[in-house]
């Protein structure tokens, strides 16, 4: 489990994080930043278009997803 990442608020399982790259219809690339519960598939996501190679910004986006996940009420 990632440091600071709370358990799933529905089943109590340790979640995982993922970053997935996809191509849209117009050829734009998008990144989907996710926190996912492997047991009940609950997730929180942020989808952003790829803007250069500013990887520091992508780390900030993942931190935002984790913060959103952690704000939810847990068991």
Please give the domain boundaries of the chain with CATH numbers for all domains. 16-70 (2.20.25)
Rounded to an integer, what distance in angstroms lies between the CA atom of residue 43 and that of residue 9? 11
What is the pLDDT at residue 2?
A: 45
Q: What is the pLDDT of residue 10?
A: 92
Residue 46 is predicted with a pLDDT of 92
Check residue 37 and give its pLDDT: 97
Three-state DSSP class for residue 12: coil
Residue-level pLDDT at 45: 94
Report residues of the chain scoring pLDDT below 70: 1-3, 74-75
Can you give the pLDDT at residue 72?
Answer: 79
Q: Where are the alpha helices (DSSP H) in the chain?
A: 55-70
């Amino acid at each position: 489990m990632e440091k600071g990442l709370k358990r799933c608020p529905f089943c109590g399982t340790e979640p995982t994080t993922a970053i997935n790259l996809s191509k849209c219809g117009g050829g734009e690339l998008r990144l989907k930043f996710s926190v996912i519960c492997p047991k009940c598939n609950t997730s929180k996501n942020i989808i952003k278009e790829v803007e250069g190679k500013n990887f520091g910004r992508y780390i900030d986006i993942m931190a935002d997803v984790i913060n959103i996940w952690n704000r939810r009420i847990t068991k």
